[in-house]
Structure 1
Amino acid sequence: PRFHVMRLRRVDGSGPAALLEASGQRPGPAAAAAAAGGTSASAQRAFFSERQVRALQDHHAQQPSFVQISQSVESSTPVSPTGGAPATGRAIKEHSSPQQPGPDYVVQRLSNLGSEYVGAIGVGTVESCKSAGGNAPSSLASVRPGSKVADGGVTCSRSAQATLNVVLDTGSTNNWIASSNCKSGACAKEDRHRFDPNQSHTYTNYPGASMLHISFGTGSISGMQGIDTFSVAGHYVEGQVFGLISEVVGALWDQMAIEGILGLAFPSMSANGVKPFFDNIIEQKVLDKNQFSFYYSTNDNYANAAFWGGVDRRVFKGRRVWFPVTVPHYWATTLVKFSIGNETILSEATFGRTPKAVFDSGTTFFTAQGPVWDKVVEKLQRAKCDSLTRASHPDLTFTLKDVDGNLRHFVFTQEQYMVPDANQDCVMGFMKVELPPEHGPAMIFGELFLRYWFATFDRADGVPEHARVGIAEAKHGPEVVQALEELTGGAQATSKTQPEIAEAVPVPNMVGDWNANAVAV
């Protein structure tokens, strides 16, 4: 079996130049190790940008209300984020926001959370040909392996019409791509890539030419739906339905070099019953294995990757343990218990319903809701980082149930869940998020969790009810940085295909051995 590795870059909202800087100024392994100070990754606090920390502090200082992002189909006017009638249609992603009152919207707080991981994908197709006389073709990007030779000795190659940097989001399903239909605003900036449907040989309009509008707490996206070929890590996915962004409103698109969103959640979340991207991958048998994985560094904007169709064992310890997706809407599994120190804060006994843990690559921190949030605020108070102790800020334990019914404990110390600002004041890495009642109570395990734990999202045979999530302790350090550069073909490359090595059974008592009942990162 072979797998494919996509370089991900973490952008923190410091401006469009942040992505270019991340692409062009990758420090070598020696410099990365020196910057880490020689300490083990498990003992380090995860680095978050000043903007992220400020957003987290602002969130703690306000009382959020339940809000809802909705999408309306064939509507001529985006729903106002400040009032008016609620949009109709399926809710896409539920989040909370202190800026939006009422139960009529759902808010995706990308602009306030302050960072996203972006990877390059191709959209559309163009052909470039040269004759036997040697006339060179035009410049290509993401060329499909294997050219065809036409009559008369003309060789033609197919490539993507545009290559864009998109967010890979396991917490949503629909796809949005910046397009040439955008004539003003952030999506029309000269330093942004845009897909031009008029230049793609494979583009077709979506039947009925539906216009979509999505309203956020701090902005909106609008665009028509279309159909074309997507290419990811050298593989092509044909007939993908997506939204062509024609208008964006809000600070998110100005401040972050994002050119689209690739949704990786389940069909039940898809608007209008459109087949999601990964379901097309499954149907078209694109990958050897129907799975993708994320590796996030604790403090390196460059050392991040998405694995498609398999994994490389150099980026995690021990072996993965698998957890069933209990309700295939979000990537969610049963949260048996959440404890702070020795006190149980959330369980089925305390709430009357089975809690869930939602793995979401599009959320930055942990989340809590209702009385759980209140208890977290009470117990994990802001303090100087150097004054924190296990007594003042106890370990957090998240207990999950694996596919064999065994309980697995994920332990986070205050060094990991408390987030420092520039003055070395530490605040808890939690935000208040209210998920819909049918999907709660739930806690979201966002980027903060995924930086310490490598996660594989496995669709198995494609049946949503058979999906599972594999978790293993992530490795960090210069060896992993070097491995990722090898896997992606160098510091500046975006993806590369690799043979997969079989997953080994761990040696008992080794670090990361899952025979232990409690594992601390």
Structure 2
Amino acid sequence: MKCLVAVLVCVVLAEGMVKIPLRKHKSMREALREKGIEVPYQDPALKYQGNEYGSANMYINNYADTTYYGAISIGTPPQSFEVLFDTGSANLWVDSIYCNTQACNTHTKFNPQQSSTFVAKDQSFYLPYGAGSLYGVFGYDTVNVGGIVITNQEVGLSTNEPGQNFVVAQFDGILGLSYPSISAGGETPVMDNMMAQNLLNANIFAFYLSRGGQQGSVLSFGGVDNNLYQGQIYWTPVTSETYWQIGVQGFQVNGQETGWCSQGCQAIVDTGTSMLTAPSQLMGSIMQSIGAQQNQYGAYVVDCGQVNNLPTLSFVISGVTFPLPPSAYIMQNGYQCSVGISPTYLPSRDGEPLWIFGDVFLREYYSVYDRSYNRVGFATAA
């Protein structure tokens, strides 16, 4: 028996239960009332309704400054999974009992047979990523993201994850946050269902990515967290409603314009990419300006003692300059200092040089993704 009465303690005697008054400390409400302050009553159940106000702030995990992931639940009763929150893809999928590869067997698997709300969908899919790929089947179920409950969300259930890429992953699946136009199988992304089901105050989400391997990263839905950035948010339009792709008008080294983006560059803002990724044709010039050398493994490295003397790299976006100091793009692992910039060989769809603003950039700048106005906002991270 459990008795949780404010001023009573329950005592069970042989002849039955008697209630004995118990002297206790004043409640916070009583103490404030004596000072003339009346606290309005609030329903204590409100804390269980994360989407009551149409917004949610989720603390997400930082694994070694390379992966940012957090917990969601799927099904009834809920089954919990760690997923990578990825602005560079559009599908939601998790490991499932249908998969027995090594990658699946090292992670938590969704069991649709244990969910009363799961509905199977006779459709299979294949998803290639920059690293790793998988096969799966789609189904519908209830999904809870930060207390926001989405009904009839399409979920991919993995059936085969070949290779080793996902074996060592810290997550059990990926939650894509880009546009539905790039969704495999025409699946409706989580964000689009949040919008369609009117679950958000505003059709936006935002990321604060912690640095130095520290925790404290935050993903917000339906609003921004003013405590996580300084100054104002600068907006730039999305140039292609596929990825979160934006235009770049300039690239500077120590404040000097290089001219490399004078004819225009494009950039994909991608929380699922660890590095800053540069157009391959510019990679040699960038490394030369940094003074980096390739080691025997092909990685670009610098002398750790010289990091403070390295140049600041800056992007000009919609007339605003966004600097990246060397502390942002140099990764220190023990005695080795490597450059957190890698090449991409893909041009953008319109042929302009393509950058990927991965976590190296996004740790410096709080990023806001606005589906109502199809724009991305950046502000200096707190």
TM-score, normalization: structure 2? 0.78
Of 48, 53, 76, the match for 1:125: 76
CA contact (8 A) 1:218 1:251 kept: no
**Structure-2 residue corresponding to 1:434:** 345
Structure 2, gaps ≥5 residues long? 1-52, 293-300
Of 377, 383, 387, the match for 2:302: 383
**Structure-2 residue corresponding to 1:163:** 80
Secondary structure at the residue paired with 2:104? helix
Secondary structure at the residue paired with 2:166? helix
> 1:291 Cα deviation (Å)?
1.0
**Structure-2 residue corresponding to 1:347:** 261
Secondary structure at the residue paired with 1:432? strand
User: Structure 2 vs 1, CA of residues 343 and 288 (structure 1 numbering), >3 Å: closer, same or farther?
Assistant: closer
User: Structure 2 vs 1, CA of residues 293 and 272 (structure 1 numbering), >3 Å: closer, same or farther?
Assistant: same
Q: Work out the number of aligned pairs and report it.
A: 319
> 1:299 Cα deviation (Å)?
1.5
Of 54, 59, 62, the match for 1:7: 59
Secondary structure at the residue paired with 1:187? helix
> 1:295 Cα deviation (Å)?
0.9
> 1:430 Cα deviation (Å)?
0.4
| Larger Cα-atom Rg | 2
More helix by share: 1
CA contact (8 A) 2:347 2:354 kept: no
**Structure-1 residue corresponding to 2:181:** 268
Question: Which has the bigger relative contact order, CA under 8 A and spacing at least 6?
Answer: 1
Quote the Cα distance in structure 2 between the aligned partners of 1:451 and 1:179: 32
User: Structure 2 vs 1, CA of residues 384 and 370 (structure 1 numbering), >3 Å: closer, same or farther?
Assistant: closer
- 2:343 maps to amino acid: K
- 1:416 maps to amino acid: A
In the alignment, structure 1 residue 468 sits paired with structure 2 residue 382: no
Quote the Cα distance in structure 1 between the aligned partners of 2:348 and 2:376: 23
**Structure-2 residue corresponding to 1:303:** 216
Of 213, 225, 233, the match for 2:138: 225
Quote the Cα distance in structure 2 between the aligned partners of 1:287 and 1:217: 31
CA contact (8 A) 1:345 1:372 kept: no
- 1:224-373 equivalences under 5 Å are 224-341=137-254, 342-349=256-263, 354-373=264-283
User: Structure 2 vs 1, CA of residues 397 and 219 (structure 1 numbering), >3 Å: closer, same or farther?
Assistant: closer
Quote the Cα distance in structure 2 between the aligned partners of 1:345 and 1:417: 21
- 2:346 maps to amino acid: L
**Structure-2 residue corresponding to 1:198:** 113
CA contact (8 A) 2:90 2:183 kept: yes
Quote the Cα distance in structure 1 between the aligned partners of 2:234 and 2:130: 37
Quote the Cα distance in structure 2 between the aligned partners of 1:171 and 1:400: 19
Quote the Cα distance in structure 1 between the aligned partners of 2:125 and 2:347: 22
- 1:306 maps to amino acid: L
User: Structure 2 vs 1, CA of residues 215 and 445 (structure 1 numbering), >3 Å: closer, same or farther?
Assistant: closer
CA contact (8 A) 2:56 2:222 kept: yes
**Structure-2 residue corresponding to 1:214:** 127
Structure 1, gaps ≥5 residues long? 13-47, 49-114, 127-159, 402-406, 461-465, 476-521
More strand by share: 2
Q: Which deviates the most, 175-184 or 291-300?
A: 175-184
- 2:147 maps to amino acid: G
User: Structure 2 vs 1, CA of residues 218 and 438 (structure 1 numbering), >3 Å: closer, same or farther?
Assistant: closer
Quote the Cα distance in structure 1 between the aligned partners of 2:365 and 2:345: 24
**Structure-1 residue corresponding to 2:325:** 413
Quote the Cα distance in structure 1 between the aligned partners of 2:357 and 2:349: 18
Secondary structure at the residue paired with 1:427? strand
In the alignment, structure 1 residue 398 sits paired with structure 2 residue 349: no
Q: Alignment RMSD, CA only?
A: 2.0
Q: Could you report, residue by residue, the CA deviation over 1:324-372 in whole angstroms, capped at 9, with x for unpaired residues?
A: 11211111211001122324152143xxxx3112211001111112321
**Structure-2 residue corresponding to 1:174:** 91
Secondary structure at the residue paired with 2:231? coil
Secondary structure at the residue paired with 2:363? helix
Identity, in percent, stands at: 31
Quote the Cα distance in structure 1 between the aligned partners of 2:130 and 2:281: 24
Of 174, 177, 183, the match for 2:100: 183
**Structure-1 residue corresponding to 2:334:** 422
**Structure-1 residue corresponding to 2:356:** 444
